[in-house]
Amino acid sequence: MSAVHAASGPGARVLRGVALHRGGPATVGLEAVAGPITIAQRGAEASLAELHVARADRGVTLASIDDRIRVDLVEHLFAALGGLGVSSGVRITIDDDELPLLDGGARRFAEAILALDVTAEEAAPRTLVVTRNASISRGNAVYDFARDPGVALRVDVEFRAPVGRETAAWAGDARDFVERIAPARTFGWADEHAALLASGRAAAVDLDAVLVYGDGGAIAGCRPAEEGEAARHKLLDLIGDLAIHGGPPRGSITAQRPGHAATHAVIAEAFALGVLAWSPA
């Protein structure tokens, strides 16, 4: 019996789709359990605290120290967890090495998590907070932290045509996340595809789920981009990256030109500097 099949009992949700990066089918099971968020893969299981970010280019790979668990493209699922305020009480079961792309955002993951009905006690055993104002940079990405009684995330992005400059913000509301941020699709440019393939990425581009830009906008076969969709997807990615570390935090983070690798490096530095810290819920 496969692990995903074993996770498909009462209350569990099984999601099937295509693996964006390696190609081929991918399946993941989600179920409500007591305790921390865990990933189970081919007989091995580890809590989120026992995993580390092993890759962060055009997607995020989580792995255990012994590499018995290694799962790519986790950021959209963790965006759904973070957007719904769920930081424990879920087991993620996968037999493959990559989560399915599904809708290209986090909407289907969010709907599945909502159907699990994770309790508030399970969802928030403690709170990550921004303790003081600080600005941390990685390359051309700049992250400004500030104390705030609520969640206040913002991204400012600038891409080549046809996107240009866009901004998106979120104040921690779960319904707003599901309705406005979760549907924003992952995106790229048609002339980047050969280089992505050479780096082992984007082997299966589903034009129903991915926004691919050409010189004049979305290429044929893609649903046209919605206003601000690129920035909303980068905000989705930021929420997912923060959720991997237990967030999003109570506080304000404004990220200029964020990317997965920069975000994870900045989060690590913010913890080391005490800019991010844990407090009781």
Q: Who contacts 121 (Cβ-Cβ below 8 Å, separation ≥6)? A: none
The rounded distance, in Å, linking the Cα atoms of 43 and 142 is: 40
Residue 72 is given by DSSP the state: B
**Chain Cα centroid distance, residue 215:** 28
* Alpha-carbon separation of residue 41 from 29, 125, 235, 261, 275 (angstroms): 10, 25, 28, 24, 33
Largest CA-CA distance found in the chain, in angstroms, rounded? 51
CB 130 within 8 A of CB 275: yes
Tokens encoding 236: 């989705």
In 3D, which of 114, 47, 125, 105 has the Cα closest to residue 84?
114
Query: Known catalytic residue: 260?
Result: yes
The rounded distance, in Å, linking the Cα atoms of 41 and 108 is: 21
Active-site entry in 21, 76, 245, 260: 260
Catalytic residues: 260
